[in-house]
Amino acid sequence: MTGALLAIVSAIFFPGIILRVKSIAGGRKGPGILQAWKNILLLFRKSSVFSTTTSFIFRLAPAVYLATVLCALMLLPFPGMPSILGFEGDFILFAYLLALGKLMFILGAMDTGSSFEGMGANREALYSMFTEPAFFILFGTLALLSGHLSMQDIFSHFQFAGEFSLITGAIATYLLLQIAMIENSRMPVDDPRTHLELTMVHEVMILDYSGVDLALIQTGTNLKFVLYGGLIANLILPVKGGWLGTNVLLFLLVQAGFAAAIGLMESFRARKKLAKNPQFIVTLSSVALIAFILVLLLTRNLIR
Amino acid sequence: MEQIFIPAAVLGSFLILVVPGRLRYYYTLSLVLFVILVTSVPAFFQFFSPLADASAIPVSPIREVMTSTNWVFRGYLGELRFTLDPLSAFFILVTNFTVLTGILYSRGYLKAYAKTKNPAQLALHNFSYTWLHFSMLAVLTIRDGLSFLIAWELMAVSSFMLILFEAEKRATLKTAVNYLIQMHIGFVLLLFAFLLTEAGTGVMSFDALPAYFANHSNTGLFLLFFAGFAVKAGFIPFHTWLPEAHPAAPSHVSGVMSGVMIKMGIYGIFRVLVSVQSDWYTIGLVILIISAFTGLLGILFSIVQTDLKKILAYSTIENIGIIGLGMGLGCIGLALHKPVLAVLGFTGSLLHVLNHSLFKSLLFYASGSVYRATHTRNIEELGGLVHSLPRTAGLFLLGSSAICALPPLNGFISEFLLYTGFFKGLGAGNEYLSIVFLVVILTLTLIGGLAIFSFSRAFGISFLGTPRKVIPIQASAITRDMIFPQLLIAFMILGIGLMPLAAISPIASLVETRFRLGPISSGVFYGTSLNRISLFGLILISIVTLILYIRTLLLKNRKPEYGPTWGCGYTHATSRQQYTGTSFAENLAELAQPVLRDREEFRTISNEDIFPRTRSLHQHTSDIFGRGIGKLTDLSWYVLKKLARLQTGNIRHYVLYAFIFILLIFALLYLKLI
């Protein structure tokens, strides 16, 4: 419960921090922290323009996208406390819920009949196909180390799995960070600031959305960020932290740090060549595989 | 009972050939319904036996029928035994449902052929359809080897007749013959397997298998059976008939073939598996490896197809792979004495059999509707169908989401069971097994991602955007009686997705009893997981509804504007500039080139081309296994041609052959070689 609520709270300042960090790194003052949400609220009040090519799928997609992210939030645990509705194997549902959102999002883009949006949809499908294995191997590793299958138990037990949990935790944090960047179509694979439709992924898919539907999508995207930020916080934060308030503060701090890291990464990192993106994403799976073998080695003495 | 029922059904099927055309459909439907009723009732009581206690019903002939598990039909030549157990009962129920939706769908689908086909052809089609149904039921209940093989053969022949429906097309004819030949390769393998059983035990029957396995090596005979059944089920590399035969057949037949007929192969493997006594580890590993390849390659091939039904056919292969992964997990669970893994694996596998029969038949029916309305199955010519065929689009979308294993639909449930099993197995065996299981998890996620890729392509290209070619669309060709069976399936898909335990608990108890695991499934399944998943389904649906409601409220007093799609400043976009199926698949095809063997024919512009002429680009992808088999047949064709020289037609040569043969025998006898 706490996890989901805190994630939603941190979503309020999350996009603002990214923007602010990027502006400061670029030598500008930048908008206020709440500007991103003000824009979204403005969109909610606006009317829409629809392409005549589109059908009910175009209108359904944003709602499903947001709904899947909201459902996934219910699976987000908080260090030392259960998630709202977690269960054994909940990370499988987590991944597949997000996949449902992605499918609808892809179809919504294809519904416009634009070649650019078809291109974006294609890339999104390809990238998410390559990202999912990394996520699953990562959770396989954590499950093996902790001996549990629900996110809450995995996170609370793996920290006590011995001295290996530190190195596994480090690799896992790195992986989750990168997966979050890819899933949200951010810097190494996609640049939200780009202005050429040919090279966009996420931005080109929402070209034809306007008004309420665009607002729904942007809300969903912001929530998706804090969803992954919450997972990272669960990895890092101590399970037994005495006073609950410390962990709450730390949770918010991790989210803010995550946002700042994204801002910094986007300011100082070049975007990859589009054709090289699949290779980059597959690398994540290999890193996850290394983590898995490492855990096997350390816990089971694979080489005797 | 059986003495009357079996002759009645057989005679009834022959009457189809003489019933007048107006009544033919209704007559066939009532015959099929009759058979479904008579077989489903005992199957239902057998399958749900823990839930539906038959002893509550007073002793009467009705109860006898309901609970009978043994039918003995005494004919002139001998007696034929039909035995019903929960495993057969499960498959019978699955079969009956899809056969029912198939025949309901066929009414509207076949209407278009009323003018082009003569009544005899249509009657023969219906006749073969009922015989496919009969033979599948026979395959599921007969234990005796010889009778089983005859039923198996009847199934192959009747489905051959069904594929041949459009025999005036040369490609169909070739495909059908190819299908028949490959089925007989499987048949021969099964025959050998049964002969081995007989040699070992003296009895040629499935019932003799436990005795055989108790005294002999398990792996050999099992693999022989597996190979024989794999040809029917479509495991790679035995799959090459499948992507040809499914598109060639009429859509309701493709639905039945893909939905249930190939599952007879899965049934056969399960039937043998319940008798296996040892070597579980080896058997499990072999099944896992073959299935992982089947799943991954199947979906990869499906991505590069442009024929809507071929996409579905290759995805059938993928799903057979997923079913096989469950079987492999179950076997390894038995080998490790971890009944939890075994229950999860086998239950997931069987549930996926049911699930796949639902969404695949739905998808085939929907693509049949597309073919009816547009007369093409090439997705490169389609587009924008969602506007003209909204109901078919919705159903196709539902089927696609289910086949991509997305919540809250049924596909997710079976894959969830498999995932849980493999994750639980990560720490169950030694380190090497952990790596194997991790690779399988990797395969499953890749299959999941590729399935989303493939079906967003199939649905997006053919139903969304604008038409890529000007085709007159006959939306009226899709009648209500074509939509109704699809709604029936959609209802089941949602039902299993939202109430998974209703389907899982009888399957799990079947697995427990058949594999002698003891009552453990209640501990595995009645925990929170499945309840939570169904709760999440409801939550998801209600949140979507809520958001849509809020959206409508917000947009109530605003007038939306309509305009063309944003063309990035370019105002004269044509529909030919849209992304096509090939371009959608291109980046993946490039990455997977070693398997897909993309071939391009394109002439580059040279310096001499001052006035460039018309250019064209042809892209081909082919199934490497199909090519391999092609090479094999070419080779045997070559050898046979050479051998044909011996057949001179000259009687003196034949006498010479006989003489040489006798000499050879003498020589061999003299050398004591025989």
**B503-523 per-position pLDDT tens digit:** 898 898 888 888 888 777 666
* Beta-carbon-side half-sphere exposure of residue B362 (alpha carbons within 13 Å): 29
CA-closest candidate to residue B301, choices B255, B239, B346, B226: B239
| Nearest-10 Cα torsion for B8, B12, B15, B21 | 150
Residue-wise pLDDT tens digits, B373-403: 999 999 999 988 999 999 999 999 999 999 9
List the structure tokens of A249.
């503060």
Q: Is residue B1 predicted with pLDDT exceeding 80? A: no
CB contact under 8 A, B445 and A90: no
Q: Considering only CB atoms, which chain B residues are within 8 Å of A139?
A: 423
Which one is predicted more confidently, B215 or B599?
B215
Give the best residue of B440, B442, B535, B588 to mutate against chain A (max A CB count within 10 A).
B442
Yes or no: say if B83 and B234 are a contact pair by the CB < 8 Å rule.
Answer: no
Q: Check CB contact under 8 Å for B406 and A213.
A: no
The answer to whether the Cα torsion of A196, A201, A204, A210 is positive or negative is negative
Q: Which residue has the tokens 């001996």?
A: A147
- Does the residue B652 lie in any domain? yes
Which among A93, A121, A143 has the least Cβ separation from residue B426? A143
- B215 to A293, B193, B200: CA distances (angstroms): 40, 16, 8
Residue B575 makes CB contacts below 8 A (sequence gap 6+) with A113, B383, B465, B466, B467, B468
Answer whether the bond into residue B210 is a cis peptide, omega within 30°.
no
ipTM of the complex in this document: 0.95
With beta carbons under 8 A apart, name residues in chain A contacting B431. 296, 300, 302
pLDDT of B66: 65
Tell me if the bond preceding B467 is cis, omega within 30° of 0. Answer: no
Of A52, A70, A110, the CB nearest to B564: A52
Q: Please tell me the distance in Å from B166's CA to the nearest CA on chain A.
A: 34
- Taking alpha carbons only, the member of A137, A126, A94 closest to residue A228 is A94
Beta strands in B199-352 (DSSP E): none
> CA-nearest residue of chain A to B557?
A47
Cβ contacts (< 8 Å) between B583 and chain A: which residues?
A: 118, 122
The verdict on a CB contact (< 8 Å) between B442 and A133 is yes
User: Would you call B564 and A51 a contact, using CB atoms and an 8 Å cutoff?
Assistant: yes
Write the burial class of residue B660 (CB in 10 Å: 0-12 exposed, 13-18 middle, 19+ buried): exposed
Residue B602 has pLDDT above 90, yes or no: no
Residue of A nearest to B444 (CA): A133
Measured CA to CA, the distance from residue B357 to residue A29 in angstroms comes to 60
pLDDT at position B586 is: 85
CA neighbor of B290 nearest in space, from B411, B443, B452, B419: B443
- Match 């969803």 to its residue by tokens: A227
Query: In sequence order, what are the residues at sequence separation of 6 or more whose Cβ sits closer than 8 angstroms to the Cβ of residue B488?
Result: B101, B104
Disruptive mutation site among A83, A97, A100 for chain B (greatest number of B CBs within 10 Å):
A100
d(CA B314, CA B264): 18
State whether B424 and A149 contact (CB < 8 Å).
yes
- Least Cα separation, residue A85 to chain B (angstroms): 7
Closest Cα in chain A to B555: A47
Cβ(A186)–Cβ(A266) under 8 Å? yes
pLDDT at position B620: 74
CB B578 within 8 A of CB A113: yes
Q: What tokens were used for B20? A: 């007048």
Closest Cβ–Cβ partner in A49, A90, A136 for B560: A49
CB contact under 8 A, B459 and A107: yes
Give the 3-state secondary structure of residue B619: strand
Q: What would the pLDDT profile of B460-502 be if each residue is shown by its tens digit?
A: 999 999 998 888 888 888 888 899 999 999 999 999 999 998 8
Q: What are phi and psi of A69, to 5 degrees?
A: -65, -40
Kindly report the three-state secondary structure assignment for every residue of B229-267: HHHHHCCCCCCCCHHHHHHHCCHHHHHHHHHHHCHHHHH
pLDDT category of residue B672 using cuts at 50, 70 and 90: confident
pLDDT tens by residue, B42-71: 888 888 865 555 555 666 666 666 667 788
B644 in a structural domain: yes
What would the two tokens of residue B127 be?
Answer: 């006749």
Minimum-distance CB partner of B401 among A66, A103, A125 = A103
d(CA B572, CA B461): 21
Q: What is the pLDDT of residue A304?
A: 44
The domain in which residue B659 lies consists of 624-670
B298: closest CA of chain A, how far (Å):
16
What digits encode the pLDDT tens for the residues B560-570? 899 888 887 77
Q: Could you state, in order of their start, the residue ranges of all structural domains in chain A?
A: 2-300
pLDDT surpasses 90 at B225? yes
How close, in Å, is residue B557 to chain A by CA atoms? 9
Instruction: Compute the half-sphere exposure of residue B300: CA atoms within 13 Å on the CB side of its CA.
Output: 26
| Contact yes or no for A53 and B465 at CB 8 A | yes
In a domain, residue B655? The reply is yes
Q: Which of B125-134, B196-205, B266-275, B568-577 has the lowest mean pLDDT?
A: B568-577
What is the count of residue pairs from A and B with beta carbons less than 8 Å apart? 248
The pTM score is 0.94
Supply the pLDDT for residue A57: 94
Contacts of A59 in chain B (CB under 8 A): 551
pLDDT of residue B622: 75
Locate the chain B residue with the closest alpha carbon to A195. B568
> Contact B223/B273 with Cβ under 8 angstroms?
no
Q: What's the average model confidence in pLDDT over B245-273?
A: 94
Nearest chain A Cα distance for residue B388, angstroms: 11
CA torsion B264→B270→B271→B277, rounded to 10°? 160
CB contact under 8 A, B560 and A50: yes
Q: What is the pLDDT of residue A302?
A: 47
Mean pLDDT of B31-35: 94
Count of structural domains within chain B: 1
Identify the closest residue of chain A to B558 by CA–CA distance.
A47
C-alpha A216/C-alpha A69 separation (Å) is: 11
**Closest residue on chain A to B533 (Cα):** A93
Q: At residue B607, does pLDDT exceed 50?
A: yes
* Chain A partners within 8 Å of B430 (Cβ): 300
Inter-chain contact B588–A126, Cβ cutoff 8 Å? yes
**What parts of chain A have a pLDDT lower than 70?**
161-162, 240-242, 300-304
Beta bridge partners of B144: B205
Give one word for A80, left, alpha or beta, with left for phi > 0 and alpha for psi -120 to 50: left
B536 to A116: CB separation less than 8 angstroms, yes or no? no
Which chain B residues are Cβ-neighbours of A95 within 8 angstroms?
A: 445
pLDDT score for B93: 95
Out of A60, A92, A128, name the one closest to residue B449 (CB): A128
Residues 6+ apart with CB under 8 A from B112: B372, B477
Q: 3-state DSSP call for residue A78?
A: strand
CB B394 within 8 A of CB B321: no
Q: Which residues contact A144 (CB under 8 A, 6 or more apart)?
A: A292, A295, A296, A299, B426, B427, B434
Instruction: Write down the pLDDT at residue B246.
Output: 92
C-alpha radius of gyration, chain B, whole number: 27
pLDDT score recorded for residue B430 = 82
Q: Are residues B407 and A115, on separate chains, in Cβ contact within 8 Å?
A: no
pLDDT (tens digit per residue) in B297-340: 999 999 999 999 999 999 999 999 999 999 999 999 999 998 89
Question: Which chain A residue lies closest to B577 (C-alpha atoms)?
Answer: A115
Chain A residues with beta carbon closer than 8 angstroms to that of B416:
89, 92-93
Please compute the mean of the pLDDT values over residues B257-285 and round it to a whole number.
94
Q: How is chain A split among helix, strand and coil, in percent rounded to 5?
A: 70, 0, 25
Is the CB of residue A223 less than 8 Å from the CB of residue A70? yes
Would you call B499 exposed, middle or buried from its count of C-beta atoms within 10 A (0-12, 13-18, 19+)? Answer: middle
What does the pLDDT look like over B573-587, one tens digit per residue?
788 888 888 888 888
Residue B80, helix vs strand vs coil:
strand
Q: For B527, phi and psi rounded to 5 degrees?
A: -75, -155
Kindly list the distances between the CA atom of residue B263 and the CA atoms of A50, B98, B188, in Å, as whole numbers in the listed order: 45, 12, 19
